[in-house]
Amino acid sequence: MADFSAYRFGSRTLNLSRPQVMGIVNVTPDSFSDGGTLYEARKLCVDQAVERARQMVADGATIIDIGGESTRPGAAAVSLAEELDRVLPVVERIQAELDVIISVDTSAPEVMTEAAKLGAGLINDVRALGREGALEAAAATRLPVCIMHMQGNPLSMQDAPAYADVIDDVGHFLQQRIKQCHAVGINNDQIILDPGFGFGKTVEHNLRLLNNLRQLQRFNLPLLVGTSRKSMIDHVLKRSVDQRLAGGLATVAIGVQQGGHIFRVHDVKETVDVVRMTEAILHERRLDND
């Protein structure tokens, strides 16, 4: 097994041999869960975004994920200029003010390049570096990348998704993208995998993936789990977005048990508690909060 105890994210390192929590800061007006909460009179409030990130770090987040384009089903397209205007000021401020790894949730090569210059430590791409020029741009930053599985695209991904076997199909897709990363010089020590919960999958697909997440450990790469507030929880519990915390925490506990390394969430404090308590149970001892 690879040693993830000092995983490098640009100028910072993080111990991924223990589960870590990534806090979500959506600088978008239309994200499915918290869209528009950082906007005043339709203008992004950078100070408020930084304060949200600051609270997440205080609550135990070791990575902050900044996204300037909503990928919810049916979300409107965002111009490159708009995405740059949303993301870069927040990256710059957080880099200057907080001791935390910055992840940029983007598919745009130009955003990857500019965010890396400002100190971002991770490129998190729901399109798995599939846009023209994205592979090359990501490789040039020399940063780690998180590549995610998605069937279809954000506009169509929930239109009757189907798989021969969701675990095998997701694994095959990720394997092909890993090969593409290798071809441009992105090595295994720079690749994180995300099975893409909620991206082109029914609730049954999502539950099967989570319950069998450990099968993706065959790639010997860190795994990111993003189930926070997603509709899979509603399908099981019949809960609106603002009532999905308990269901989401249950998915985190199973994700830790199944070997997940990074948990991308909106509710950092509660998630950190669940992660650490689940660890203690699995190891049958109290662990230091490093």
- Catalytic (active-site) positions: 230, 264
CA distance 139 to 9: 14
Count how many Cα atoms sit within 13 Å of the Cα of residue 70 in the half-sphere of its side chain. Answer: 16
* Nearby residues of 217 by Cβ (< 8 Å), 6 or more positions away: 223, 259
**Alpha helical stretches, state H, 36-184:** 46-58, 80-97, 109-117, 134-141, 166-183
CA distance 187 to 183: 9
Q: Give me the sign of the Cα torsion angle 238, 20, 131, 78.
A: positive
DSSP per-residue letters across 40-64: ETTEE-HHHHHHHHHHHHHTT-SEE
Q: 221 vs 125, 165, 280, CA distance in Å?
A: 16, 21, 23
**Is the separation of the CB atoms in 108 and 80 below 8 Å?**
yes
Pairing assessment for the beta strands 12-14 and 7-9 based on DSSP bridges = antiparallel
Give the dihedral of Cα atoms 247, 250, 256, 259; nearest 10 deg.
Answer: -80
Q: 143 vs 5, 18, 152, 244, 280, CA distance in Å?
A: 17, 21, 26, 33, 32
Q: How many residues does the chain have?
A: 290
**Is the separation of the CB atoms in 148 and 199 below 8 Å?**
yes
